[in-house]
Each structure stands twice: as structure tokens, then as C-alpha cells.
Structure 1
Amino acid sequence: MKKLIIIPAYNEEENIERTIRMIEKGTNDFDYVIINDCSKDNTKKICEKNHFNYVDLPINLGIGGAVQTGYKYALNNGYDLAVQVDGDGQHDPQFLEEMAEYLVENKLDMVIGSRFINKEGFQSSGVRRLGIKYFTGLIKVLTGKKITDPTSGLRMINKDIIEMFASDYPKDYPEPESIVAILRRKKKVKEIPVIMKERSGGVSSISAGKSIYYMIKVTLAILIESIRKGEKK
């Protein structure tokens, strides 16, 4: 099977080389592509210097647009599986082989790496954990499925979902909304426990000041996605 790691990166000069070295050391048969989302720092120069495989976006598309670019790359190059690994180094590649095996053996559409099943490693801040619990509850009400880590960026999908996300993917804070999108289409989604690390450099795209906007925006997006469900069945 052809397996691709999609690495969205915006101003990750402090982390991107370490992230790629972790991937090279921790995986055997995964390819990778960095989606440089028009970074203003030296992310592109680091990719060029190290001859990393990257796509350089001419304008900033945000996390949703960057990840969708990765899915388009996966679709156009015939990949069977694709997994998002954030460019900040928080996602440990050692879990990718296990995720791939679990997805294939259980005939799943998506596998999510959850930090909250075994509660090991970095658990995020207290405020963010409250937000995560809120989205867990909202998704459970709307779909009947409990997702313990709905904001996890460590998500692996099969070929059918690659095609779906390549043509239609949320543009802003996409993780919870995209989970609802495939659950409402009766796709199979499960989680496995993973250990995540704390960001060692750079700045998260979701600051404390953006948290309220994030909660409102994603809630509305999830509700709208639920309404759209009948149209796309």
C-alpha cells in the first residue's frame, strides 16, 4: 500500500527539521509531503536546504486549505492511506504503523490518535481540555459516537476519504467538523491511544484570545454539517 504523511506547516522553522528527522527515523514505508502554507519565517529555506519533499503555497490558506492540498496530492499520486502529522513535532511517528494496521485490519475509514484514552504524555492545557470535552459531547449528541479527542490532528484515512476530503474539506479548524462529516455518512471511525508531546518551539495557531471564536465557529460549522447530511447521503 502507498502511505502518505501530510505535514501542514506555517512558521515552523523551529520544528520542521526535527519533525522530518523523527519521521525518517520512526517509519519505514511512509512517504511524506510538507505543505508550506506561505510561511513568513525560514520554513521554506529549511525545506530547500535539506531537500525535503514540499509543496509551497503562494498564499496562506490556513490549516484546512493546507491539509486539503495534502489530500489532493495524495489523490493525484495514487496513495491508499494518508495521515496528518502536524509540523510542530507534537505527533510521534512511532504510532503510524500501528494506526495503519488497525485501519486496514478493521476496515475503517478513519483512525484518530487520542491522547485521552490512556491519558499519557502531554494532555493540553486545562482550558483546551474543557473545549475538547465540549466537542466530544456535541459530536456524541449529533452522531451517537463518542470521540475522546475530536481536535486531534493525528488522523489517518483510507482512499475513499482521501477522495472525499480532496474535493470538500473544512477550511478553518477542520478536525471536529470533518469527523462529523464522515460519521454522518455512516463511515467507520475509531480511536487508538497515542502519546503526544508538548510543542517545543513556535506559537500555536489557536491563542487564548481565539478560543471563544474557535468554540462558536466550530459549533456552528458542525451544526451546519449535520443539516447538510441529507443532501450528501
Structure 2
Amino acid sequence: MTSIKNESKKIDESLFVMNSKRVALFILTYNAEKHIKKTLSRIPKEIVDKFTSIYLIDDSSPDKTFQESIDCAKSLGLKNFIAMQTPFNQGYGGNQKIGYTYAIEHEFDIVIMLHGDGQYPPEFLPDMIAGFKNDETAAVFGSRMIHRYQALKGGMPLYKWFGNQVLTTFENKLLGSKLFEFHSGYRAYSIPAIKSIPYLRNSNNFHFDTDIIIQLIAKNLKIKEVAMPTYYGDEECHVDGLKYAFNCIKSVIKFRLHKMGIFYQPNFDIEQSDIRNYDLKSHKNTLHHFVQHTHWKESDIVADIGANDGRLSSSIAEKVKEIIAVDIKKPNFTKENVTPMEMDLNENFDSILGSQKFDKVLALDIIEHLNNPEEAVQKINNILKNNGILYASTANIAYIIMRMTLIIGWFNYGKRGILDKTHHRLFTVNSFKRLLKNNGFKINKVVGFGPPIADQISTKGIFGILDSIASKLARMRPSLFSFNYLIVATKKMNFSETYNITTNKK
């Protein structure tokens, strides 16, 4: 009785959604001739006519799936049904790309993907639709692992059951998510969510589903999971399990490397503009933590060149007398003793800021963005007092990972990290030291930093260990193991000043 009441409730909730939104059912098929009639007949009669469209896309099946689907829909009286066929096989992901683009073009609000071979139960379509009664829901997944032992009873092979959980645990760990299952093919999406992610850049293979989860998580969109039973019958499986697992792992790792700026992956380029975006990092093994905890004097007057939004300037402000925070856009995070200034650093900023005014200058990850680094460093020299201190950092093009990728022919420009495409110049530790020396600075020390594992992934478990090891290696040998590095340098007295003092000229 309880089961019947729950089923009735879900149907009512799904009808409520379908009466207020344009809901479409997208059936994708490949070699499903033997199963398509049963799959279509199992769509609950209470909702079958409520779909704005039921559209099937057959991925050039060599059997008679396409014609069989048309005949079955006609015999079942499906008036809102349309069948399409690709001109050649697109792959599992490629077929979905066509299906979602079709949904966007036809201005549906929600699209539900159902496999034509019947592996995922059409009877649970009301549960999937009801998940969208909350307007914030971006996706609904039918999960076989909410009640995971039921999956074995439903015929899921033990190796698949075990592999599913191990892979999902790994993916959750790296993505910071808490999904019961990453690998269900029973999915529904809101069309605004689909439109907001670059799904067309995802793989055409089976790990398209993993790629799209990563994109949703990267956008902080809400994913809802609903429990559903597992059914393994005589349908043919076209997935190479080991290859699929490898590709899923590779996608998650690529995303993490992309987030850290080590590797650029276009389909994970979520809401990143071409404007320089500089995240303030807080972990103890990072550049920002080091700079914040360096020796500052209460009498220091500081210029932060390339201050971005001013967060770092504001965090240092309480330790010094005054900070001038400068960037192409006026920094908006300021305190009483922080003066924000909007300025093009490719222009003569030294004439505006003043000669020999500052005790210390911060130029963190900015020199490589400027048109002429040599001129920029000379201008920084001009605004520093004699024996003033420069803290200058940049990315290390000779980082060990960069060396390895270059060996195999990769030189992967992106929107952040070492190969940020807005970098006008790439530096090794030695070439950056030479740049500073040639423009009137004495090198005091070089401090290396590893990739931001703790800030971008986690400080727990293996990630904390990796972060610690990377940090120690970077400090030991910055030229090879630093992802980015800081050079602390002192302004030397220039020749004119030395000559004037020597000859007693004022």
C-alpha cells in the first residue's frame, strides 16, 4: 500500500512539473531493435502524453532499430514521437550532444535521457521529473547505489558493482563532491544548465557523462539523485570497462590540473574570462602565505603592482604604514591605509607613483603579463628607495612537469597557470634573476613553491602529503621543482647616484 501511495505521489509531482514546464524525453539508441518496443511501452501511461516531445535518435545502428522504433511508436499511439538517425555513428557522447542541442533549439525546459535498450526503467520517469519541482535543480540522476546492495540483486556483475564504487569514491575525492554514483546513464537536465556549460567540447565516448558531471560541479549547480532499481537483462553492452574507467580517471585528473593551472582543458574552461584573474591562496605552502608572513615594518610604505582586487594588499595593510594598490582595474578590497589606483602598468607608472618613494614593492605574477618586462622592472627600480626591497614572482616555465610535457610535444597554452596565454614572456628562475640583475637589483634569495594542491584540491590524506612533498622539493631546488617562485631583491644604488655621492655633487 505504501509503495502504491509513493508511486501515486511521484506521478502527481511529475504532472505538476509537466504542466508548468516543457519536458522532453530523449531516447538514444544503438542496436536496440529487440528492446525498443518494450522500452516505449513501459513509459507510464499517466505521463506519456504530457511530454512536449518524445524524440529518439538512433546512432546509425546496423540493425533495424530506427524503423522498428517508428513502427512501435505508431502501434502504441505515441502522437508526440519523432525518430531521427545520425548519418554515421557519433558515439555515446556524440549522440547526446545532438540530443541536447535539439532540446535547446526547440526551447524545452527539461530533457530526460532514456536508453532505448531498457536497462534503465521507464517506470521511474515520474521520479526523475519530480526532481525538478525545485527550480534550483540543474540535473537529476537515477542512482543504483543509493541502495547499493540492491544493485547486485538486480543482476549487476560483481566486478562492475565494485568498480563503480571504487571509481565513484575516487571521483568524489578529487572533485569534492558527494554523489552516490557517477556512472548511471539515467539522467535529466534543465536546459538552462545545459546551455551554461561547454558540453559540445566533451568527449564523444562513454565518459561524456563524467565530463558533464565535472562541468556541473565546476559551476556549483545542484545535482539531485533519486534511487532506482538495477536491471541487467540480455541487452548488449558496448562499453569497454577498463578503457572507460581510465578515461573517467583521466578526465577528473585533467580537471584538477586545469584548476591548478598546470594543464589547460577547453571543456573545463568554465566561466573564465580573458581578464587576469588572480586568486588569493591561503595555505602555508603558497606564495601569498609566505608574503603575508614576511618581515614587515610599521614604517614601511609599500606599492603593490598588479594588486588585482586588493585582497593581498588589505591583508598586509595592518602591518605597515601605507600601501598603494595598483592594477588595470581599481582594486575594491581596501582598508583605511590602502590607496587603490587604476592604472595601465604598460604606461609610465613610475612618473605617477613618484621617484624613490617606496620602501618595498610587490610585483607578484605581473611582470610576465606586461608588454616590456625590462622597462617594467626599471620603472619599479625608479619608485624604490635605495636599498628598498622588491618581492617579484612569476611562473616557472622550467618546472619539471613542463619539461616532461615538452618532451612528448605538448605546449598547452590556456587561461591560467604557467602557460597562461596572457603571458607576454616566459621565465626560468635563471632568466628572471638575470632580468632583475640587469635592471639594478641584487638578488637576496629565491623561494620556490609547488602547485597549489592544498588550495585547489584538499589538505587531507594523500593530497596533504603530496602538497608537503611538492613544497619541500620546490624549496630545495626551485629551478626544477617550483611551480612558481618568489625572488627577493634589493635595489642597488645606480651609477648616477654613486657618481654624485663620490664626487660630492648634490
Settle same-fold status: TM greater than 0.5: yes
Aligned-residue identity in percent: 23
2:117 to 64, 67, 88: 88
The question of whether the paired residues in 1 share the 8 Å contact of 2:210 and 2:251 is answered with no
SS of aligned partner of 2:28 = strand
Report 1:59-78 matches (<5 A). Answer: 59-78=88-107
Structure 2 counterpart of 1:182, which letter? Answer: L
Residue 171 of structure 2 contacts residue 249 of structure 2 at CA under 8 Å; is this kept in 1?
no
Question: Whole-Å Cα distance in 2 between the matches of residues 14 and 56 of structure 1?
Answer: 17
> 1:82·1:162 contact (CA, 8 Å) conserved in 2?
no
In structure 2, the partner of 1:4 is: 24
Q: Does 1:150 align with 2:150?
A: no
Amino acid at match of 2:218: R
Mapping for residues 173-188 of structure 1, pairs under 5 Å: 173=206, 174-188=208-222
Matches of 2:46 and 2:34 in 1, distance apart?
20
| Distance apart, 1:220 and its partner CA | 0.8
Give the whole-Å Cα distance in 2 for the aligned partners of 1:166 and 1:218. Answer: 16
Q: Which position in structure 2 is the counterpart of 1:231? A: 269
Question: CA shift at 1:134, angstroms?
Answer: 2.1
Matches within 5 A, 1:130-169: 130-163=162-195, 164=197, 167-169=200-202
Tell me if the contact between 1:6 and 1:85 (Cα under 8 Å) persists in the aligned partners: yes
Task: State whether residues 177 and 225 of structure 1, in contact with CA within 8 Å, keep that contact through their aligned partners in structure 2.
Answer: no
Aligned to 1:194: 228
1:3 and 1:93 map into 2 onto residues whose CA distance is 15
Q: Say which structure, 1 or 2, has more relative contact order (CA 8 Å, 6+ apart).
A: 1
Alignment of 1:53-64 (within 5 A): 53-64=82-93
**CA displacement, residues 46-101 of structure 1 (integer Å, 9 cap, x when unaligned):** 12334452111010011101111110111111110011111110222232222222
Deviation, structure 1 residue 126? 1.0
Name the structure 2 match of 1:47. Answer: 69
CA RMSD of aligned residues (A): 2.1
Corresponding residue for residue 33 of structure 1: 55
In structure 2, relative to structure 1, the CA distance for the partners of 1:140 and 1:87 (3 Å cut) is: same
Give the aligned partner of residue 212 of structure 1: 242
Between stretches 129-138 and 45-54, larger displacement belongs to 45-54
Q: Pick closer, same or farther for the CA change 1:36–1:165 going to 2, 3 Å.
A: farther
d(CA) in 2 for partners of 1:185 and 1:23? 32
Task: Pick which of 191-200 and 18-27 moved more.
Answer: 18-27
Contact 1:113-1:193 within 8 A present in 2 as well: yes
Asked if 2 retains the 8 angstrom alpha-carbon contact of 1:6 and 1:34, the reply is yes
In structure 1, distance between residues paired with 2:45 and 2:231: 17
SS of equivalent to 2:255: helix
Q: Which 4+ runs in 1 deviate beyond 4 A? A: none
| Kept in 2: contact 1:111–1:190 (CA 8 A) | yes
1:123 Cα deviation after fit: 5.5
SS in 2 for 1:58: coil
| Cα distance in 1 for residues equivalent to 2:210 and 2:22 | 26
In structure 2, the residue corresponding to 1:41 is in which secondary structure?
coil
Superposition TM-score, scaled by structure 1 size: 0.89
Q: Which residues of structure 1 form unaligned runs of 5+?
A: none
Q: Note closer, same or farther for the CA distance 1:99–1:66 as it changes in structure 2 (3 Å cut).
A: same
Task: Determine helix, strand or coil for the equivalent of 2:203.
Answer: coil
Counterpart CA distance in 1 for 2:70 and 2:128 is 30
* Equivalent pair of 1:116/1:123 in contact (CA under 8 Å): no
**CA 71–20 in structure 1, closer or farther in 2 if over 3 Å, else same:** same
**Aligned partners of 1:88 and 1:165: how far apart in 2?**
28
TM-score, structure 2 normalization:
0.43
Q: Which amino acid aligns with 2:159?
A: V
SS across alignment from 2:137:
coil
Deviations 1:148-201 (A, max 9, x none): 221101111112223236644431112222212211221111211112322334
**Are residues 214 and 152 of structure 1, via their aligned partners in 2, closer, same or farther at CA, if it must alter by over 3 Å?**
same
CA distance in 2, matches of 1:24, 1:100: 12
